[in-house]
Structure 1
Amino acid sequence: MRVRRFAAVSRLNLLPISAALALASPAPARAAEPPEKVEFVSLDPAKTSLDGWLFKPEGEGPFPAVIALHGCGGLFSSLAPERLSKRHDDWAMRLVDEGYVVLFPDSFGRRGIDSLCAVRDRPLTVSRRARDAQGAAAWLARQPFVDPDRLAVLGWSHGGTSVLSFAGRAEPKNTDIRAAVAFYPGCQRFADNPTWEPEIPVTILIGKQDDWTPVEPCRALAKRFPNEIELVEYPRAVHGFDAPDQRVHPITGLAYTASDTGIAHVGTEPEARRGSIRLVKRELERAFARKRE
């Protein structure tokens, strides 16, 4: 498998506030079809059947595709069951607008899980969610509108941690996973694991002020793999900085936080949001442009 080489870096995305605040508007859904609920099989030991929400550009394709993994709170809005949260919907529209198929696996619904954020003894591990992503990749590779040689995986928080777990595994047969992007993942378990190493290029995007999943273990991981992991830090950002139009506020009762108090802050940081949108676009374009060996 061909691996794209990165240098681990930290960047400051310092843009004019007026330009950054414009990001509160949702992305245009140019040429997007309505999302479709699909079913696929996880590659976990139980071969669990899962639901997924599929977004497609208009046309026959074949298109490159992105597997997008939700966080510990699940895929959907707390106000409307079976409606994607604003962050997920916003990213779906942006990626479809760039010509990508997007599949959001629902790792919770069929397993009877509402949320994992406040649960210490979790019934679903990131390792199993990595298997969900593998199953999603295998399913996408069989669809006539998808180019199986151009797949990527993206995730947020618990989903970002699952992306790192995925990156350390062999990819499914008959697919070419070009890149992995993890928003504010928990890096500690991988930094502590001497046998973990990324099989595909990884980009980690995280806020320096994140008090839910702290940046330090991600720095250690990027230092250990300077040619495989690109670490991008946003100086004023907390957890969930890429969400559209969400005020920064504390959340209590969390199972794991940097301070071990169960309290962490989440919310939009406009400059980091703008920078991350631009960076994800760049990374996908670069990953999908390279030819398979």
Structure 2
Amino acid sequence: MRLLSATLSLTLLAAACTAGAAPLPAPHRVDIPATGLTLHAQLYKPDGDGPFPTVIALHGCGGLSGHSEAVLPRYRDWAEQLLKSGHAVLLPDSYGSRELGPQCRVKERRVLARRERVADVNASRQWLLQQPWVARDRISLIGWANGASALLWAVRPQSSSRGTDPDFRSAIAFYPDCRISSGLGWSTRVPTLLLIGAKDDVSSPSACRQVVEGARGRSALARIVVYPGAAHDFDLANLPLRAIAGADAELPERGHIGTDADARRDSQQRVTEWLAR
């Protein structure tokens, strides 16, 4: 009887803890004026007036939203992590704003990382600079895959607006495709962290190493972490490692994807520390 009572007490305690955990608030859609279009974005913001450090989060080639959800679980998961550290999170929808679906398997893309997506980054930043709840000197970037590739273009010295407004505070790129940047003498004007798995056969760890090592001669602001044994999408929760198969438009054509628990945990800690710089 005492065992049953103890078990019931523990069950009730666990339920109370779960009930007491604050759920992730629903995002608010915002419309951002941009060149030639209205850029739709989803915004997660802490309660209060701020000013809050803010992160512009750039989705991968699968897009930002799903069939019935404004923000896919990967990005909701990271938004929750960032909100816990006091950040607002703005997620511009580069594809949905142009009435496009996933672009992973599109051969001739109309939205390029180096062009349209960089324009979306700059429009998002300009909109944030006008918001009274934003800490203007603490706007950072984070991106995944194609969004991370756009990030690498956006932080190059050549992409600077050269205005009087504060620049990005920092940037974090999860498994970008570094193969083009590696041949262009890439460097960065803001502290930039690259995170990639050593077994990523969708992107290229060796090209990303080359990008960062080459940048050291021109800039001391780039760092890279290569996780041994980790594949593409290592930070996505609860995704067993598997080879990409079939014709899923939201996935690359080939390679392997899957969670690496150690890399996921370490990357969460590194993101928190990098943004706190």
Q: TM-score, normalised by structure 1?
A: 0.80
Report the CA distance shift for 1:107/1:234 in structure 2 as closer, same or farther (over 3 A).
Answer: same
Are the counterparts in 2 of residues 32 and 58 from structure 1 also a CA contact under 8 Å? no
Counterpart AA for 2:97: R
Report the CA distance shift for 1:122/1:56 in structure 2 as closer, same or farther (over 3 A).
Answer: same
Identical counterparts, % of pairs = 35
How large is the RMSD of aligned CA atoms in angstroms? 2.3
Match among 126, 138, 144 for residue 113 of structure 2: 126
Partner of 1:163: 151
Q: How does 1:105-120 map to 2 (within 5 A)?
A: 105-120=92-107
The CA deviation at 1:41 is 2.3
Match among 150, 153, 159 for residue 138 of structure 2: 150
For 1:29 and 1:108, how far apart are their aligned partners in 2?
A: 33
TM superposition outliers: structure 1 runs of 4+ over 4 Å? 28-33
User: Do structure 1's residue 49 and structure 2's residue 38 form an aligned pair?
Assistant: yes
Partner of 2:50: 61
SS of 1:39's partner is strand
Q: How does 1:18-97 map to 2 (within 5 A)?
A: 30=22, 33-42=25-34, 46-77=35-66, 80-97=67-84
User: Do structure 1's residue 199 and structure 2's residue 192 form an aligned pair?
Assistant: no
User: Do structure 1's residue 214 and structure 2's residue 214 form an aligned pair?
Assistant: no
For 2:275 and 2:147, how far apart are their aligned partners in 1?
A: 18
Report the CA distance shift for 1:33/1:61 in structure 2 as closer, same or farther (over 3 A).
Answer: farther
Partner of 2:236: 243
Which of the two has greater helix per residue? 2
Partner of 2:9: none
The CA deviation at 1:31 is 8.6
SS of 1:204's partner is strand
Are the counterparts in 2 of residues 64 and 150 from structure 1 also a CA contact under 8 Å? yes
User: Do structure 1's residue 101 and structure 2's residue 88 form an aligned pair?
Assistant: yes
The CA deviation at 1:137 is 0.8
Report the CA distance shift for 1:238/1:81 in structure 2 as closer, same or farther (over 3 A).
Answer: same
Are the counterparts in 2 of residues 69 and 155 from structure 1 also a CA contact under 8 Å? yes
Partner of 1:273: 264
Partner of 2:11: none
For 2:270 and 2:239, how far apart are their aligned partners in 1?
A: 21
Unmatched segments (≥5 aa) in structure 2: 1-19
For 1:202 and 1:238, how far apart are their aligned partners in 2?
A: 21
Partner of 1:14: none
SS of 1:178's partner is coil
Counterpart AA for 1:214: S
Q: TM-score, normalised by structure 2?
A: 0.84
For 2:28 and 2:268, how far apart are their aligned partners in 1?
A: 24
The CA deviation at 1:67 is 0.1
Are the counterparts in 1 of residues 104 and 253 from structure 2 also a CA contact under 8 Å? no
For 2:21 and 2:129, how far apart are their aligned partners in 1?
A: 24
Are the counterparts in 2 of residues 154 and 163 from structure 1 also a CA contact under 8 Å? yes
Report the CA distance shift for 1:229/1:271 in structure 2 as closer, same or farther (over 3 A).
Answer: same
Partner of 2:16: none
Are the counterparts in 2 of residues 254 and 263 from structure 1 also a CA contact under 8 Å? no
For 2:76 and 2:27, how far apart are their aligned partners in 1?
A: 10
Larger mean Cα displacement after TM superposition, 66-75 or 239-248: 239-248
Partner of 2:15: none
The CA deviation at 1:110 is 2.1
Higher relative contact order (CA 8 A, sep 6+): 1
The CA deviation at 1:175 is 3.3
User: Do structure 1's residue 140 and structure 2's residue 128 form an aligned pair?
Assistant: yes
